[in-house]
Structure formats: structure tokens, C-alpha cells
Structure 1
Amino acid sequence: MRATDLSELAAFEAVARHRSFRKASEERGVTASAISHAVSNLEARVGIRLLNRTTRSVSLTDAGTMLLAQLSPAFGEIGSALDALNQYRDTPFGKVRINAPSSIAPFVLGPVMAKLIRENPNLQLEIVATDRLEDIVEGGFDAGIRLGESLRDGMTAVRINPRLRFAVVGSPAYFERRPLPQTPADLKNHICIRNVYPSGTPYAWSFDRDTETIDVEPTSPLTLHDHELMIEAALSGIALAYVWENRAEPFLRDGRLVRCLEPWCPPEDWLYLYYPTRKYMSAGLRAVIEAMRV
């Protein structure tokens, strides 16, 4: 097989997996037009349409579905074979792509990025921060970060630092008008920002103390999914915010925010770095795991 044949097949496999020429081009580090040209060449050479394209979407033909099913295991084997070469290198080499929630990425990855790059000069670290739930395999990531939760089959999870917890915060001006809540039940007398995931699905303010668990679902004129905006809203004195403690810490230190209900906010479950279980692991991913594991 010629190198051009393999390159065209790799371009098709990336487009078929992502259902996107743009995402495939980002993964492979070339332009979208180069990916499109490679796929068109492949289709012309085999004489069969593999992809249906519109201005809005990409879908597989029956022939494309069959080809992808055959290619995916083959490319997986090639990747494992290349990863196995890392055992002959003294230092990690190549790119490691990590997906992490944007609301916690600075606290999780910030402390380790400089050390990883400094100690591994041949390592390329690419971090994509988003609070949308991503399929790391489909997205072309080597690993992802999540709070402790069930992961699909074929994934390995490693416990990492730090262990985070939430905080309920408001400005001194806000508490001049309302008393500090002493229990979660007191929040019914307060204006509390509604928290939602990027998908628009709301999530409750969750509290635990001893054996008691209470979930509060705020009713509020303000609904946000970005923790920085929640902090800004709390600083303005308009409402209370339920945010990651690390995000609020600088403002708590200088007195611009006041914390309440701290005994009701224990640490969350552990964070995990998770990745597809493979026979071989790249030296780069191994270096990331060792830098982050508990």
C-alpha cells in the first residue's frame, strides 16, 4: 500500500468518526480542504461514494459504514504498534490531548502543566476545556477528566488531585439585606442562581452533613452555566452563587465574598483521569498520569 493510500484512509476514518471535516482536520493537524481532497481522491479511486455531505452534516453511506467498521480496528492496531515504540525512548514524545471540564481545568491541570513541559521537552500537551460531556474516543482525545462516576466499558480510571468541593457565596452587600442562611432550608428566603449544564439541564445545589443529604433547586431570575459568571453575579450583590470553592477562594480571602453553609459542603467525590484501556500506553500519556495521580 502506498503512503498516499494510507493517508487517504486515515482522513476518511477521522471524518467518519467525527462526522465532521473540521474536527477531522483539527485532529490530524491539516486544513479541512486537505481532508476533503483526500476523501474525494479515495472515493474516486475506489469508485464508490463513502460519505454523504451537506452544508450542515456528514453521514456515512452503507459502503462507508462497512469500510469504517473494517478500518477502526486496523488503525487501533497501528496506533498500539506505534505506542509500543515508546518503551525504547528515554523521554516521552509526541502529543497528548486531554479533555477537561472548563469549570475545574485551572485547578486540576494548572499546577502540573509547567512541570510536565519542563521535564519532558519532546512532549506536546493539548488541553481542550469544555463543560460539555465529550466522548473522548470520538473526539480524538488520549484522556479525559471527570468527577467520580461510572465510565463505559473499555476505560481505565486513575484517581487524581485535587479533591474539590462546592461553596455557597454572596457579597457583603447582599448579606446587609438578608441574614446568613444557617441550613439549606433557609435558602428558600434567598435569591439563588440556578446552575445548568451547557446543554441547559439544571442541577441542584447539593448539601450533605452527617447522614443528611439535601438537594435544593433554586427558583431564580438568573440562570447560568459558567462559574466565572456566577462569581461576577455574586460579587454584584444580586444573588448567592453555588460554585467551586477554588474559584471563589481569592474573593473570600480579600473579603469581597462571604461564605455560608460551609459545614454542609463536604468534599466531592474524587476526580479521575480516564483513558481507553489499551495493550500499550504512550510514554506521554504515562507521564501525564504519573504527574497527576494521587
Structure 2
Amino acid sequence: MPDSEIHAQLLRIRIEKPRIIDIPGMKDFPELVQGFTTRYGGVSQGPYATLNLNFYREDDPARVMENFRLLSEEVGVSLENMVLSRQVHGCRVFRVDDTHRGMGVIRPRSYDEVDGLTTDIPGIMLVTYYADCVPLYFYDPVKKAICLSHSGWKGTLLDIAGESVKTMKNHYQSRPEDIRVSLGPHIRACCFEVGDDVARKFFDTFPWSEESAGKNDKGKWTLNLEAVIRGSLLRHGILEQHIFSCPFCTKCEHDVFFSHRGSGGKTGTGAALLMIRSSV
């Protein structure tokens, strides 16, 4: 996408201040409810302003719950039908069913250490949360199954993208060539700086990642998480034409999206949302 178009989209977002933006690739399917939240339209204050969706920050839990209520109203999905991950920067992908409705939002979870959620049940909204990490949206339009995974640099190293594909194959008999994958807003190569130790882990685990890495004028490695994830997805059988990406960098645009690095470490988190409609 040309820079001029990206800038025009960001200008429109800053003017209109939507709570949720559409995700390329996912928005093409009317049977899906999908999106990624911005910082706008909530009630939290200070570094969490305004639509913080993380109960594990030093934000008032009542404000976070009100933000979820506003989000519920926005997407037309009740809190009772949302399921929230419990992220630990791992690679576990958890299969959600009707017994998990509302968990993590209005009632306690029966699961822990979950960075990915998957289901084939219409009417259950999967919710994962972010402040620079990569949101991965998966949809199999043949088997009608979805997956939503949180891929930080640690999860990327553990190949949660590949684990998500494997999980869909195992649970729903999805064929990789049918699966669509979208990457939501995340910290991009322009801003993702790491030291030699982390860079070497990536180069050793994903040899192709070195091709898109470089060093900046501060002597730090800059890594392209999207390139790493794309390489993994292709090696797991996802077709190039079925991989889509949102072009926004959360650190560059930390007034629009929550960003851990853009805020100096104290911030709220946004959320990725994905659901198969009960009816279209």
C-alpha cells in the first residue's frame, strides 16, 4: 500500500476516532465480525486513556469493564458471548466451546497460559489483547472455523503462527490452502529494536529472518516480525495470496493504538476481535 494511502487512512482514523478498525482480508467475509480496537471511545484515564481492555494493568477494573461494555455495544455482541485469552507470550492455542462463553470478561477462566483461541461455533467472539505484539487472524471459509493468536517476539520465536495452523488442521480438518490469515496493527520493522542475543535467536530459528533484518544508526538490530511470520505461514502451507496485513505501526502511531514501547512501558492494551456470525 502506498505511503500516501496509509497516511490518508490514519488521518481519517484520527478525525473520526472509531473504536474499531477493519482488518484487511477478514473484512471481505460478511459472515465474520472482526476488527482491532483503537485508543478511542473509552472511559479510562491517564496512560490508559481511553479504551484500555486489560484488567491486569493498574487501571480501575470498573473502567475496564465499562470499556468492554462499550465495545460490546459497538459490535453488537454481548459480554456473555465473549471469550478472553490469558496471555503469557507462549504458543498454546486453546479450543473454545459453549462452556467458555463469558470467560475472562464477566466470569473466571477455566484455562490459563493461552495465547491463541480457536472455535468453529458461531456466536462466540474470540478476544485477544495487544500493545505492540502481532495479532494473527485465521479463517477457514470452507470448514467455517476461526483462530485468533497473539504473537509477540517470544511467541513468534515459538512459532505460534504455525501452531495455529496445526491446531485448525487437527480440530477442524482445515486445509492450509483454504485458510486466510491477516496480521493486525503491530510494531513494525521501523521501530522493533532488539539486541544481538535476540536477533541471533531469530536468525538461528528462522534463517530467512536475517534477510529482512538490519542495524540502525544506534547499532541495534531492527527485526521485521511480519516477514518472519509470513515465512512460517508459507512453510505451513498457507498460500501467499491468502496472507494479508494491516500497514499501521503501533509505536509510530501510539496516539491511535496502545504501544508498550511508544509509551515507555506504561500503557493500556487494545484488542483483536473475531467471531463467526450466528446468521448472515
TM-score category, normalised to shorter length? under 0.3
Higher helix share: 1
Q: Which has the larger radius of gyration?
A: 1
